[in-house]
Amino acid sequence: MNRLVVRLVLSHLLVAVVGALATALVVRALAPPMFDRQVGMMGGGGMGRGPQLRHEFATAIDWSLVAGTSAGVVAAGAFGMYAAYRLMRPLAALGAATREIATGRLQHAIPRPGTRELDDLADDIRTLSESLAETEVRRTRLLGEVAHEMRTPLTVVEGYVEGMIDGVLPTDDATLAQVSDEMRRLRRLADDLSALSRAEEGRFDLARVQTALGPLLRSIVERLHPQADDAGITLAVRTEPSPEILIDPDRIAQIVTNLVGNALRSTPPGGTVEVSLLETSRGARISVTDTGEGLDAADLERVFERFYRVPGRRRGHGAGDGSGIGLTLSRRLAQAHGGSLEARSAGLGRGATFVLDLPRR
């Protein structure tokens, strides 16, 4: 009873039986009175044989109904089996296709049965297959990108360690500091990948509190001032007015730090990086503007891809903290707050602006 083909055949039989019973009841209820009226209209000559004729007429009707019902049930059963076969054959083909997809053959052709509903189902399965294929491509590319990002610091650490073992490099504070820097870079990469994974899976916990954005931004800029001074870059901040919104201050500080660090990397000595705050009808807008290398129109979205390198930029550009996924993680954090992070630029050599919009609630 749990098989679809059995249910389809039984449904056809049930329809046939119900139809036949309804027909029999109507005929048995209407035919005898109609027969009596006809006999009455014939006059007295037929009255003597009236009861016998009535019985013979009723018997003929009963046998006709039995024969008709039997033929109808048999025909309904045969048609039900044929209809079930016509339906189950494309469903079986779709099932076989999904099993092929489940085994990893994501490019397997999905047949279109020719029925609108089943064609829609086939299109949905094809869309799922294409989505899984894209996910697999991204997963493979991510593994390659992570391996590439890890290979450089590991190679540097290996070279320093072998040099110190062979006595080529001195085991002093400067050499050990280089090794420590590369190890910290590996640690940042691991931490950011873990954070990005949680954010993309919707497992990112935010400790939201009502926060005044002005003091938060000023503290971030003050902390990054030494880095800007060393690079010969003017770092300014404008935070009036200073709206209060419900955010995770640590995560917003992480986003802004990434953006400012990224701007400092792309701005030559003598340039300017400005952090500005604007209250909007929806909440607040934080902008980080630089007078640096700028972005081509084709790169305005791609800079948010994991490990994407803007052509012609030095190694490490594209991530505010040098891990290679700073902008990717920043956008995920903004989206987790219900906000957005966008890049704007007038073109190469004309600076860039990263705009963080945050809702009030």
Q: What is the CATH number of the domain that holds 306?
A: 3.30.565.10
Question: How many domains are there within the chain?
Answer: 3
Is the pLDDT at 315 greater than 50? The verdict is no
* Residue 317 pLDDT: 37
Q: What is the rounded average pLDDT for all residues in the chain?
A: 78
Is the pLDDT at 224 greater than 80? The verdict is yes
* Residue 2 pLDDT: 54
* Residue 277 pLDDT: 92
Are 224 and 315 found together in one domain?
yes
* pLDDT band, very low/low/confident/very high, at 202 (cuts 50, 70, 90): low
The pLDDT tens digits of the residues spanning 49-61 come to 556 666 766 677 7
* Residue 270 pLDDT: 92
Residue type, 311: P
Name the least confident of 18-32, 81-95, 155-169. Answer: 18-32
Given 111, 137, 160, which residue is the final one in a domain?
111
Name the least confident of 89-103, 153-167, 299-313. Answer: 299-313
Average pLDDT over residues 161-169: 86
Cβ within 8 Å of residue 48, ≥6 positions away: none
How much of the chain exceeds pLDDT 70, in percent? 80
Is the pLDDT at 81 greater than 80? The verdict is no
CATH of residue 152's domain is: 1.10.287.130
Given 200, 233, 258, which residue is the final one in a domain?
200
For residues 307 and 301, give the distance between their C-alpha atoms in angstroms, rounded to a whole number. 13
* Residue 318 pLDDT: 37
Average pLDDT over residues 288-313: 81
Are 170 and 231 found together in one domain?
no
Q: Domain range spanning residue 153?
A: 129-200
For residues 116 and 106, give the distance between their C-alpha atoms in angstroms, rounded to a whole number. 24
Q: Is the peptide bond before 32 cis (omega within 30 degrees of 0)?
A: no
Are 342 and 318 found together in one domain?
yes
Does residue 123 form part of some domain? no
Burial class (CB in 10 A: 0-12, 13-18, 19+), 4: exposed
Is the pLDDT at 320 greater than 50? The verdict is no
Q: Choose the most confident range, by mean pLDDT, from 28-37, 294-303, 331-340.
A: 331-340
